[in-house]
Amino acid sequence: MEKMLPRIIFTIMVLTGLAWAQTLSDIERYRKQYEDYLRSMQQGQTGLDLNEDQAIIGDIPSEFYIIKKEKDIKPDEKLKYFGYDFFTLRDSIPIWDNLPMPPSYRLGPGDEIIISLWGETQLRSSYTIGRDGMIYIERVGKISLADKSINQAKTYLEKQFQKVYETLKGSRPSTFMDVSLGQLKSINVTFVGEVKLPGIHPVHPFSTVLTSLIQAGGVDTTGSLRNIQIIRGDDDPEEVDLYAFLLSGETG
């Protein structure tokens, strides 16, 4: 408002002078004075600051364009497949033999059986199941233990030993018997399909699907983690979805 005051005063003076002008020469003189005043303003000779007006007056764009900045991707940078690196993030798989025996574990060739008798008869011997699934016990003979659980093997062995050791019989025996596992066999598992190291691999008997696949190098990215099949003999294939485990920890 202070910057506009001189212009307003000058305009009032011109209009007042025009109202009292008596001749055309007076009007022409006032007109020239006003033009001189306008020119002096344009040349910055009036002392008025026109920068503010000049800053407001200008070409204001009617459209604004948003420039999308693309993420810089290195030539050697690739998107990773989810879950596939789970099999390669370790150098070894620790599996301890002193873990509780799974109820589903079946005896087979290579398993070591430890038979202990105590009480009136003292005996402790270990036997390794042969390729035919049998063990030989002196005075008892050959006994087949293949494909039996440890509890089934204990019941069967106790019946066979009762034929030789009378003190194991009856409701109040004087000799007692226990059967346990020693060294465990390795299981030969055949891996086929989209695994990195297909073929036959010996795995620990306590191995799971995950630890077994780790031993086989893992699943290739051309294969699916949602449809892994476990085939046992003539049984129907069992399907395993590893994403259920990787995302929520489901093992069933």
Distance CA 209, CA 230 (A): 8
pTM of the model: 0.53
How many domains does one find in the chain?
3
Q: Where a domain ends, among 161, 181, 201?
A: 181
Shared-domain flag, residues 167 and 42: no
In a domain, 222, yes or no: yes
Could you tell me if residue 65 is inside a domain?
no
* Model confidence pLDDT, tens digit, residues 78-99: 667 777 777 776 666 666 566 6
Walking along the chain (252 residues) 10 residues at a time, the average pLDDT comes out as: 54 54 62 72 53 45 47 61 73 62 85 94 94 93 93 94 92 93 87 89 83 83 85 84 78 57
- In DSSP notation, 61-115 reads -S---PPP-PPP--TT--PPPTTGGGGSS-S-----TTSPPPTT----TT-EEEE
Q: Which domain holds residue 173?
A: 112-181
My answer on whether 130 and 26 are in the same domain is: no
Residues 174 and 190 reside in one and the same domain: no
Domain boundary residue among 135, 154, 181?
181
**Is residue 143 domain-shared with residue 176, that is, in the same domain?**
yes
CATH number of the domain encompassing residue 159: 3.30.1950.10
Q: Please compute, for residue 89, the number of CA atoms within 13 A of its CA located in the half-sphere on the CB side.
A: 5
Q: Is residue 130 part of a domain?
A: yes
